[in-house]
Amino acid sequence: MEIYRGTGVSKGVSIGIPHWLAAQEREIPRTLVDDREAELARFHLAQAQAAAQQELFYQKTLEKATAQEAEVFQIHAMLIADPDFTEEVEKLILEQGVCAEYAAQQVSRQFSQMFAQLEDAYMQARSADFCDVGNQILAELLGEEAAAACGGEPYILFAEDLLPSQAVQLDLDAVQAFVTRQGSSVSHTAILARNMGIPAVVGVKFPDRLPAGPVVVDGEKGEVIFNPSPEVLLDYQRVQQAQRSYQEQLLAYRNQPSVTPAGQKIGLYANIGSPGDLQAVLENGAEGIGLFRSEFLYMDAQDFPPEEEQYRCYREVLEGMQGKRVIIRTLDLGADKQLGYYQFGKEENPALGCRAIRFCLRRRDVFLTQLRALLRASPYGRLAIMLPMVVSLEEVRESKRLLQEAKAQLQAEGYPVAAQIEFGIMIETPAAALISRELAAEVDFFSVGTNDLTQYTLAVDRMNGEVSNLYDPAHPAVLRLIKEAAERAREAGIWIGICGEAAADPKLLPFFLEIGIAELSMSPKSILGLRRRICTYQPEEAAR
């Protein structure tokens, strides 16, 4: 039995079969081989297997998605068999006598770099495809299963790190837990795991070779156990049973209002990334959607999604929520949220760079398309629109102008648009909190993004596990900024919510109640536990 420790970022226990995430970047050493012809044959076999795998993925994707979404696997199959690519790998093996893994990695990187430098956006997008292709041949050579892409049997996902763009390609029904070597508690891997209600442990130094048998992931203790003894396995099966019965008890709170015994109401809303999350939202009795991270729609696509596709997606969410408030955040791209089909310029500090609203105000074509889609969907429910990463009044005013422009266009084209659409901003920079008096005069609501607010206030990269000990959403500086925004909101007569991960932290509940937070938005799976806490809340908890 071997125990590996990391940071538990999503609670719960899972027991399952481990799988490496295919298509991961890792350094293959330049190993020389004795038999070059045999190595060539290994490469050809892996190439054929990887191509066959693409056909399988293509068919599987077709079963649950559109032909356009499945097309990527056809492109991959073509690139795997590309004659120039094949010739270069063959040359490297035959002339230098290197192993097939090294040759495949080197050549796919060369091709990827070559494509990245081309002018044409479509060709540039092939750069990421070549990386993927190289990794898939590598996975075949190393005998790893590409479980992440093809789904099927339940498994525990092991990865170096998990980028949002990789996460959107996973068959999430099959993933029982995440274990990564990198990552932090507010990385999107952690958020995704909490959304799914599955355990996750990050920062685990596990070995390359995973065991064939079951592993245990304990998201509470931050432990991953390889080859558990029968006693340990039995203990964890009991913990799982206890978890299940706790979840069942919580169901009693599903249709209860979120009101303290003293009569203070605080709405419990859900954070989502796609219409696929709606079921969990409804099952967990959310009172609305407090944050729809619309960028996931863009990351799960081959190109910027057209207006019609976005409109259908937003409409589905609005209709699904049957008149409850749905806050859709406009595109928050950049930093760790990258696109396969669009290259952001090279930035030294992407978290401080051209992300979120800054990107939208530069790419007005992209922004207007989203605003039009949102407005077209607005008659189908209670829509609220929210801007991310605001630092100035001008950004808000300019966005409002664009929203008016989109509205005027649609009305001229004969589309109906809802009469009432709330318009709000995220408070996730110290600047926004400090000018919240002025900002409050421009908007209908604030929603505090504690993930970024903590990152920018404390100057701690939220993605960097090395400094995660300094990352503290309960730091007095962060709380003082939230309080400032809450007071200015109250003075201006607008409401304020919290939609960062801290919203679900029961230790912060007394503070949120005290400063008059109207709504807390979190992973659907966190709602019932917090509602129970609110319904049984005693003011003396505040003193603790």
Stretch that binds ligand PEP, among 119-127, 207-215, 316-324, 450-458 (CB under 6 A): 450-458
When binding is defined by CB under 6 A, the residue of 129, 132, 428, 484 that contacts ligand PEP is 428
19 is a catalytic site residue: no
**Interacting span for Mg ion (CB under 5 A) from 70-78, 83-91, 379-387, 442-450:** 442-450
Question: Taking contact as CB under 5 A, which single stretch among the options 121-129, 204-212, 450-458, 464-472 is the one that binds Mg ion?
Answer: 450-458
Distance from the Cα of residue 342 to its chain's centroid? 18
Please give the structure tokens belonging to residue 337: 């949220």
Contact segment (CB under 5 A) with Mg ion among 48-56, 247-255, 445-453, 521-529 equals 445-453
- Residue matched to tokens 């889609």: 373
Strand-pairing partners, residue 175, are 155
Are 253 and 54 a contacting pair, CB within 8 Å? no
CA angle 223, 463, 11 (to 5 degrees): 30
Pairing of strands 445-448, 215-218: unpaired
The span from the CA of 348 to the CA of 320, in Å, is 41
What's the sign of the alpha-carbon dihedral 489, 490, 496, 501? positive
Tell me the C-alpha distance between 266 and 263, whole Å: 10
Q: Is 500 in the site for ligand PEP (CB under 6 A)?
A: yes
Contact 356, 394 (CB under 8 A): no
**Binding residue (CB under 6 A) for ligand PEP from 452, 484, 505, 519:** 452
Structure tokens at 482: 């939230």
- 76, 188, 313, 360: which is the annotated catalytic residue? 188
Spatial contact of 36 and 94, defined as CB atoms under 8 Å apart: yes
- CA distance to 68, 513, 533, 534, 542, per residue, from 539 (Å): 55, 10, 12, 10, 6
How far is residue 370's CA from residue 424's CA, in Å, rounded to a whole number? 16
Coil vs helix vs strand at 423: strand
30 marked among binding-site residues: no
Asked whether residue 464 is marked as a ligand-binding residue, the answer is no
What 8-state DSSP symbol labels residue 262? T
Helix (H, G, I), strand (E, B) or coil at 445: strand
Cα(224)–Cα(179) distance, rounded to whole angstroms? Answer: 8
Residue window 247-286: x/- pattern of binding to ligand PEP, with contact defined by CB under 6 A: ----------------------------------------
Kindly give the residue spans of alpha helices, DSSP state H, lying in 321-420. Answer: 356-362, 364-377, 393-413
Q: Does residue 126 have a known ligand-binding role?
A: no
The CB-of-181 to ligand PEP minimum distance in angstroms stands at: 22
Q: How far is the CB of 117 from Mg ion (least distance, A)?
A: 32
Of 293, 315, 355, 525, the one binding ligand PEP by CB under 6 A = 293
Q: Does 332 bind ligand PEP (CB under 6 A)?
A: yes
Contact positions with Mg ion (CB under 5 A) in 409-438: 428
519 binds ligand PEP (CB under 6 A): no
- The verdict on whether 499 is a catalytic residue reads yes
Select the binding partner of residue 450 from ligand PEP, Mg ion, none (C-beta < 5 to 8 A, by kind): ligand PEP
| Sole window of 236-244, 260-268, 401-409, 444-452 interacting with ligand PEP (rule: CB under 6 A) | 444-452
Residue 103 or 196 with smaller CB distance to ligand PEP: 196
**Site size with Mg ion, rule: CB under 5 A:** 3
Site for ligand PEP contains 144 (CB under 6 A): no
- Does position 138 bind ligand PEP by CB under 6 A? no
Q: Is 523 in the site for ligand PEP (CB under 6 A)?
A: no
- Is 161 an interacting residue with respect to Mg ion (CB under 5 A)? no
Query: Which residue, among 250, 202, 177, has the nearest Cα to 531 in the 3D structure?
Result: 250
499 binds, among ligand PEP, Mg ion, none (CB under 5 to 8 A by kind): ligand PEP
Selected from 449, 465, 497, 524, the binder of Mg ion by CB under 5 A is 449
Report residue 16: phi and psi, to 5°: -170, 180
Nearer to ligand PEP, 293 or 531 (CB): 293
The answer to whether 397 is a known ligand-binding residue is no
Q: Which of 12, 273, 449, 465 is in the footprint of ligand PEP by CB under 6 A?
A: 449
Residues 503 and 517: their CA atoms lie apart, in Å, by 10
The closest residue (CB) to Mg ion is: 452
Query: Is residue 462 part of an annotated ligand binding site?
Result: yes
- How far apart are CB 332 and ligand PEP at their closest, in Å? 6
Ligand-binding annotation for 90, yes or no, is no
Residue that the structure tokens 């795998």 belong to: 53
Round to whole Å and give the CA distance between 22 and 61. Answer: 17
Tell me how far apart the alpha carbons of residues 450 and 267 are, in angstroms, rounded to a whole number.
Answer: 17
CB 519, min distance to ligand PEP, A: 13
CA-based nearest residue to 167, from 138, 139, 200, 134: 200
Binding Mg ion (rule: CB under 5 A), the pick from 39, 161, 295, 452 is 452
List contacts with ligand PEP (CB under 6 A). Answer: 291, 293, 332, 428, 449-452, 499-500
Question: Which active-site residues does the annotation give?
Answer: 188, 499
Residues contributing to the annotated binding site: 293, 329, 428, 451-452, 462
List contacts with Mg ion (CB under 5 A). Answer: 428, 449, 452
